[in-house]
Amino acid sequence: MPFAGLNLIGSRVLVGADDAYTAMVLRAGGAVANVGINAVLIFGAGMGVEGAAVGTVVSNVVVAAAFATGLAAGRLPGIGDFPVTVDPRGRYADRSTLADLVAIGLPVMGRSLVWTVAEFPMFAILDVFGRDVVSAFVIARRVFGLLNTPGWGFGLASSSLVGQELGTGQEGAAAAYGREIIRFSTAVYAVLAAAVFVLATPAVALFVGDPTAPEVPVAVPLVRMACVAVVLQGVSSGAAGPLDAAGDTRWPFASQALGMFGISIPLVYLGTVTPLGIYGLYLAFLAETSVPAALNYYRFRSGAWKRVSREYRPEAVADD
């Protein structure tokens, strides 16, 4: 985990400096190395699960070493020059910077933990519906996760481009980048979701292998609801990017927590104690993304995130 964390930070440094390609090459190279090492240790050396664990550690160490070398030397053989150089002998114990990291980073960490924590009450409630519904829900979550893959890219692009403009004091340009990325990400999500919506039945069959399995009739409408929900996720993640860039991270965390714990999980529970039934699960999918989408977009449109960003760059003045 420490090496995985360093890899994440190293890639974000490069992405923030407009070099997402190098970050992609290094991390993708680590994934390929992981597969290769696992194959050798699992099948060649007969180490089984232990071999998979060792392969994961070794590949993460290799990638972390590549990032460290490139950032310290300013270039990496076979990769080329890095846009950012970090002095390994520099001074890092800066009180104000550490305070900013905690203030900005803790809500981001909390937002990442929302679904992980929510899994426990969610599955405890779903168990009332029976195994088939639980299986169908897991399938729908997998499809939702696959459809949500572009969101990582759009979120990073938004926070990086908006952050760069804020760093130079161009708040108007930062807002323009944010608007365009929200529109583009929503359009991409809509196209992907429409395709999966139409092909929901064969998509579910890929997970169960048997089109006549009892969970299929439950999973198909759930997958279609996930397709609707993921379009709203495009709005949510696109709008959260500028907020992240401005350091206004508490708002996306609060919106995500409210959507999940305040509305989504209660709707699932209502489905178990009222005639709402399985429809509570359908509505829960929408609530999970519609609440953050509405609140994050409202915060973006309000422009309050620009004022928050000035707290982290006190020399800044409003340009619009």
Q: pLDDT digit string (tens) for 16-41?
A: 888 888 998 999 999 999 999 999 99
Both tokens assigned to 200:
């929901």
- Across the chain, which has 320 residues, the per-10-residue mean pLDDT values are 90 86 90 91 88 92 93 88 86 83 90 89 90 89 89 81 87 91 91 93 84 82 93 91 91 94 93 90 91 94 91 65
Task: Decide the pairing of beta strands 80-81 and 75-76.
Answer: antiparallel
Both tokens assigned to 47:
């180490």
Q: Helix, strand, or coil here: 46?
A: coil
Domain residue ranges in the chain: 2-81, 95-312
At which residue do the structure tokens 């890092």 appear?
92
pLDDT at position 318, please?
A: 54
Say how far apart CA 208 and CA 262 lie, in whole Å.
32
- Could you tell me where the beta strands, DSSP code E, fall in 27-74? none
pLDDT at position 205, please?
A: 87
pLDDT at position 319, please?
A: 56
Say how far apart CA 259 and CA 202 lie, in whole Å.
30
pLDDT at position 20, please?
A: 84
Entry pTM: 0.82
pLDDT at position 317, please?
A: 54
Say how far apart CA 26 and CA 236 lie, in whole Å.
29
